[in-house]
């Protein structure tokens, strides 16, 4: 039997053995619950990410004989919704020149702008082979382009070596470490507040007080303790948030039902209540720390909380800040979680000590002239991102160290 690497493309994630996929994920330096087979399969089975919604699965696996060496989620797409790395201008430029930008290929977790491993591989050599295989497949399928979104450092290095262009965006993450001493997590929320400048500390206390004085309290539930009624109420809030912005929700109720059944340990739900009634929710995803995901063999990883979805049925001043930032941060401190990722965009997060972090995506365009034009654009955009990062870092919310 040949030991040459063989690339296979799967139109249904259920064609791939879940245990083998998750074993590869556990071997990565930056795994996340969003890359677990149960998460990706639920997106498909629930009707959330399917050909009907513009996400046609083409999951790639790389084999040597009967051994799985690398894999990644891959979709052929006829739009750019749900990606959070915006290429609408590229699509418009293609159209203006009489060219088709869609379909394109996207290596990403649908609707999930969370950095982490995308190219699951046993080593750097097979990760490089996987990238090469993806580009070759795109050429064979006559797709306009390939986009790997929010990749881990190892993914980006493999893509850059293969000639893909890099694009940077900015997110805001909170770290459970005292400024100047990364080995010392905060003892409690008050210790965290004490690390901030006086004006930021005062503002946070005022915002939290407004929520309390409005008669709002919070409870949290994790994993199997999140009841069916909790999930039902969460989905009402989640769907309302999307519809208030004139859009249908990306994820179906069935998706979250499947999460409760197959990946309960990855979820933490905060529920705001007033006069005994739930009025808002905030859903957080969790990655356990330790050696390998869920305690399996693999590299040592930090515990991480990911801010994902929120919604409210009543208007309360500052409720969004309490539900989406202060409650999760307080929970992270109490449970020793190392990092809280607040999601894409939003400079307002810096006032809550979520600091700017550069995230990276990689792009290949088949058309040589457009590839050259995009490369020049990315050089200018990249310089702007560097300046933006410097500007943000100069506005630290933390108090100045004592002289």
Model confidence over 392-401: pLDDT tens digits?
989 999 998 7
Q: Residue 294: is its pLDDT beyond 90?
A: no
Q: Does some domain include residue 214?
A: yes
Q: What is the pLDDT of residue 1?
A: 41
Tokens standing for residue 294? 């869920």
Query: pLDDT band at 296, cuts 50/70/90?
Result: very low
Q: Residue 245: is its pLDDT beyond 50?
A: yes
Do 124 and 165 share a structural domain?
yes
Q: Does some domain include residue 93?
A: yes
Q: Residue 149: is its pLDDT beyond 60?
A: yes
Do 184 and 167 share a structural domain?
no
Q: Does some domain include residue 401?
A: no
Measuring CA to CA, which residue among 167, 127, 108, 157 is closest to residue 360? Answer: 167
| Mean pLDDT value of segment 260-287 | 97
Q: Of 28-37, 226-235, 275-284, 291-300, give the lowest mean pLDDT range.
A: 291-300
Q: Does some domain include residue 1?
A: no
Q: Does some domain include residue 64?
A: yes
Do 348 and 199 share a structural domain?
yes
Q: Residue 291: is its pLDDT beyond 70?
A: no
Do 120 and 153 share a structural domain?
yes
Q: Residue 182: is its pLDDT beyond 80?
A: no
Query: pLDDT band at 2, cuts 50/70/90?
Result: low
Which pLDDT tens digit goes with each residue over 328-379? 999 999 999 999 998 777 888 999 999 999 999 999 999 999 999 999 999 9
Measuring CA to CA, which residue among 341, 352, 399 is closest to residue 170? Answer: 341
| Mean pLDDT value of segment 280-289 | 95
Query: Domain holding 121: CATH number?
Result: 3.40.630.30
Do 156 and 41 share a structural domain?
yes
Do 12 and 155 share a structural domain?
yes
Q: Does some domain include residue 264?
A: yes
Query: pLDDT band at 402, cuts 50/70/90?
Result: low
**265: phi then psi, degrees, rounded to nearest 5:** -65, -10
Do 245 and 142 share a structural domain?
no
Do 217 and 131 share a structural domain?
no
Q: Of 73-82, 133-142, 151-160, 292-301, give the lowest mean pLDDT range.
A: 292-301
Three-state secondary structure of 64-104: ECCEEEEEECCEEECCCCCCCCCCHHHHHHHHHCCCCCCCE
Domain that holds residue 212: 173-357
* R_g of the chain, CA atoms, integer Å: 22
Q: Residue 293: is its pLDDT beyond 50?
A: no
**Residues whose CB is less than 8 angstroms from the CB of residue 232 and which lie 6 or more positions away in sequence, other chains included:** 253
**36: phi then psi, degrees, rounded to nearest 5:** -70, 150
Q: Does some domain include residue 75?
A: yes
CA quadruple 230, 271, 332, 168: dihedral positive or negative?
positive
Q: Does some domain include residue 115?
A: yes
Cα 254 to chain center, whole Å? 20
Do 136 and 94 share a structural domain?
yes
Do 254 and 139 share a structural domain?
no
CB neighbour burial string for 343-382, b if at least 16 within 10 angstroms, e if fewer: bbeeeebbbbbbbbbebbbbbbbeeeebbeebeeebeeeb
Other CB atoms within 10 Å distance of the CB of residue 239 = 17
Name the domain count of the chain.
2
Do 157 and 188 share a structural domain?
no
Determine contact, residues 8/74, Cβ cutoff 8 Å.
no
Which pLDDT tens digit goes with each residue over 275-284? 999 999 999 9
Do 384 and 270 share a structural domain?
no
Which pLDDT tens digit goes with each residue over 69-120? 999 999 999 999 999 999 999 999 999 999 999 999 999 999 999 999 999 9
| Mean pLDDT value of segment 242-259 | 95
Q: Residue 6: is its pLDDT beyond 70?
A: yes
């Amino acid at each position: 039997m040949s030991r040459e690497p063989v690339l296979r493309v799967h139109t249904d994630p259920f064609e791939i053995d879940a245990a083998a996929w998750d074993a590869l994920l556990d071997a990565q330096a930056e795994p996340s619950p969003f890359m677990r087979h149960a998460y990706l399969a639920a997106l498909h089975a629930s009707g959330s990410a399917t050909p009907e919604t513009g996400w046609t699965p083409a999951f790639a696996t790389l084999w040597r004989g009967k051994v799985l060496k690398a894999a990644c989620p891959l979709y052929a797409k006829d739009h750019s919704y749900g990606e959070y790395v915006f290429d609408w201008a590229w699509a418009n430029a293609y159209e203006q020149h009489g060219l088709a930008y869609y379909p394109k290929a996207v290596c990403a977790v649908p609707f999930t702008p969370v950095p982490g491993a995308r190219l699951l591989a046993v080593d750097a050599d097979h990760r490089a082979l996987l990238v090469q295989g993806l580009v070759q497949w795109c050429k064979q399928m006559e797709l306009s382009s390939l986009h790997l979104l929010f990749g881990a450092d190892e993914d980006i290095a493999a893509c850059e070596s293969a000639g893909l262009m890099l694009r940077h965006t900015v997110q805001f993450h909170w770290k459970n470490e005292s400024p100047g001493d990364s080995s010392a997590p905060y003892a409690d929320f008050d210790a965290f507040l004490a690390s901030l400048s006086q004006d930021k500390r005062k503002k946070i206390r005022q915002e939290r007080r407004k929520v309390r004085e409005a008669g709002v309290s919070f409870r949290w539930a994790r994993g199997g303790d999140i009841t069916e009624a909790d999930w039902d109420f969460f989905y009402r809030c989640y769907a309302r948030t999307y519809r208030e912005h004139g859009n249908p929700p990306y994820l179906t109720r069935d998706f979250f039902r499947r999460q409760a059944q197959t990946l309960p340990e990855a979820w933490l739900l905060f529920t705001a209540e007033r006069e005994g009634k739930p009025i808002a929710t905030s859903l957080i995803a969790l990655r356990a720390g330790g050696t390998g995901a869920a305690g399996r063999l693999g590299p040592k990883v930090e515990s991480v909380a990911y801010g994902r979805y929120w919604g409210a049925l009543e208007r309360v001043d500052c409720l969004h800040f309490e539900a989406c930032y202060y409650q999760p941060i307080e929970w992270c401190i109490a449970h020793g979680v190392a990092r809280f990722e607040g999601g894409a965009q939003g400079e307002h997060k810096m006032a809550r000590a979520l600091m700017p972090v550069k995230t990276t995506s990689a792009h290949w365009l088949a058309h040589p002239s457009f590839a050259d034009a995009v490369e020049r654009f990315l050089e200018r955009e990249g310089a702007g991102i560097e300046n933006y990062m410097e500007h943000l870092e100069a506005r630290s919310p933390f108090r100045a160290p004592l002289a």
